Amino acid sequence: MHHMNFPAYRGSMEYYCLGCDSHFPIDELHYTCPKCGGIFLLRDNSFDSLKEYSGQKWRDIFDSRAMAKDATLRGVFRFYELMAPVLDRQDIVFLGEGQSPIVDFSHSLRSELGGQRGAYKNEGQNPSASFKDRGMACAFSFLNRLSRTQENGDILAVCASTGDTSAAAALYASYAGKRVKSVVLLPQGKVTPQQLAQPLGSGARVLEVPGCFDDCMKVVEYLADNYRVALLNSKNAWRILGQESYAFEIAQWYDWDLKGKCVFVPIGNAGNITAIMAGFLKLYHLNIINELPRIFGVQSHHADPVYRYYAVNDPKERHFEPVNVQPSVAQAAMIGNPVSFPRVKHFVKQYETIGGVKAFQVVQVTEQDIMEGMLQANRNGHIACTQGGECLAGLKRARKLGIIDEEEIAILDSTAHMLKFIGFQDMYFNNSFPVEYGVTPDAQRANTPHLIIDALEKMALSAEEYTIKTAERIVDMLGLSKR
Ligand SMILES: *Cc1c(COP(=O)(O)O)cnc(C)c1O
Ligand SMILES: [Zn+2]
């Protein structure tokens, strides 16, 4: 066995309310502040003691763990001291999440983008095929600790979702076994077959209600306020904590040198962009990195409340207003009133204090740009989902606005696997988009299968004739020359 020593450091964590500044101990799962209903961050009050080690020492520790064959240090807990340093080894769940590959733009993509340097970080290569697994690994590890230390240890994990949150929650709950049961509440008829298949396959109890995501959300929040259930939507601060690992991995991959790096992130409920800023700030405060990368949030014009807020230059003139969303191919980011918006404001302020006003920006893109971004990425060897396409559209927009240079390295978040959102590709290729999306397919880009011999012709031929005839048609079609 090549077990590393499990980290010895233990932090003193508590919930910290962004609404009323109250603190609460972590001996139970709080979803929102019991005093004011505000949202929480998790804070380690011993964090400053980590500064006793130099940045170099921390870099060495994290780099050496990259070779560990200890499953508990393989995923998001490679960065244990920065994550949830209250857990024991036995609490930690590892289903292969985290350490997702960063794949440089192919030469062809780079040249189509006028020489722009960049890479995709493929979050679709997480176990349930989205970045949500990072947060779930952390949240379920904490639930394990709770169920180990509490009398009545059984846990009912609940979430409202139309897609990736429920897939991830159901997967981690089913791995946890009999002590954890999961329930997923979905809006009836508003989920794709793939999105429905994942929690069903993991054995979650899937409940449907007529209405939309917001209706489901209100029901599960009522349950969490009044009954003993663990609510796993992204208001849950343990999820945000796990998602910080995305930032740590980018820093480590680029050898802790983030000069000239620009991180593009789609914004839905804004949990992910919150976590990414929080993560880079932690690294900066421990001198593990000397410079913050720039962050570019990306939103569709059909769901752009965060873009609108930051589009007002004078901070004193800004005020937040939810928007009514219109249908978006970046469906996982189609949210008009992001629950983590107070967290975004909190971290943007810190981020700009250190990195200047250009350190955080939000760009807006069209639905057409998003679809074409996804198709362009994937035709050039990547595996972007629609939200990954949104990031590429965001990069092109930033180039057009002159706010990014081609020599900077753009790191695009493909938040899920392309296969989860493949229905949108079908609509584009088959020219079957409902008008509300505002996407007009370009027939040049359509790719559909060609039948080269039909069943009737096949019946009339012997097996050998069939092989030869089919092959000859392919020869004609492709213009092959004899060898
Ligand atoms: C959840 C999700 C998003 C949006 O992330 P937020 O944290 O809600 O901003 C984007 N893409 C995918 C694939 C998601 O599952
Ligand atoms: Zn509060």
Number of C-beta neighbours around residue 156 at 10 A: 16
Please state the φ and ψ torsions of residue 207, each to the nearest 5 degrees.
Answer: -110, 140
Question: What H or E segment, with its residue span, contains residue 214?
Answer: helix 213-226
**CB of 387 closer than 6 angstroms to any ligand 1 atom:** yes
Of 125, 212, 202, nearest in space to 161 by CA: 212
Please state the atom number of ligand 1 nearest to the C-alpha of residue 421.
13
Which atom from ligand 1 is nearest to the alpha carbon of 333? 4
Atom of ligand 1 nearest to the CA of 132: 15
pLDDT at 188: 83
pLDDT tens-digit readout, 219-267: 998 998 888 889 999 899 999 999 999 999 999 999 999 999 999 999 9
C-beta of 243 in contact with ligand 1 (< 6 A): no
Q: β-pairing, 230-231 with 155-160?
A: parallel
* Spatial distance between the Cα atoms of 164 and 126, rounded to a whole number of angstroms: 11
Mark the residues whose beta carbon lies below 5 A from ion ligand 2. 17, 19-20, 22, 33, 35-36, 38
Is residue 297 lining ligand 1, measured as CB closer than 6 Å?
A: no
Closest residue to atom 2 of ligand 1, CA basis: 332
Query: What tokens were used for 321?
Result: 């207003």
**Ligand of minimum distance to the alpha carbon of 23:** 2
| Residue bearing the CA closest to ligand 1, atom 4 | 268
Helix (H, G, I), strand (E, B) or coil at 134: helix
How confident is the model over 79-130, as pLDDT tens digits?
999 999 999 999 999 999 999 999 999 999 999 999 999 999 999 999 999 9
pLDDT digits (tens, 9 = 90+) for 2-45: 556 899 999 999 999 999 999 999 998 899 999 999 999 999 99
Cβ within 8 Å of residue 142, ≥6 positions away: 26, 29, 84, 87, 91, 238
User: Ligand 1: does its nearest atom lie under 6 Å from the Cβ of 267?
Assistant: yes
